[in-house]
Structure 1
Amino acid sequence: MDKGGRIEQTAAALHVHGNTVKYGLRRLRELVGASPVDADTIEETAHWWWALRTWLDR
């Protein structure tokens, strides 16, 4: 989310390969149970996960 949904920029920020980011997104879709076309559910879940992680890291 911090990188505007750009895979390569996200991967660089996380110091991982782009495929690792793509795999993580696929797993998130599987865990959330949303279809790949249901971007709103995935985006909302990712937003809350990001917000929680940001809050916990403080």
Structure 2
Amino acid sequence: MAKNTQKIVYTTSLDSELAKKFKVYCALKGKYQNEVLEELINELLEKEGDGVGNNG
């Protein structure tokens, strides 16, 4: 993902235990939760395609 891109607020709900584990994981890795989520979403879209008429 390109640096200095515009950010939006994105709200969702998660299983409470999953959210706790994710928070701890991010803290141990020294990363922000949004940073890890963006990395994982980008990996998913690269692997599965972005869903807007092409495969990546």
For the aligned pair, the TM-score class normalised by the smaller chain equals 0.3 to 0.5
Judging by fraction of residues, say which structure has more helix.
1
Q: TM-score when scaled to structure 2? A: 0.43
Larger Rg: 2
Q: TM-score when scaled to structure 1? A: 0.42
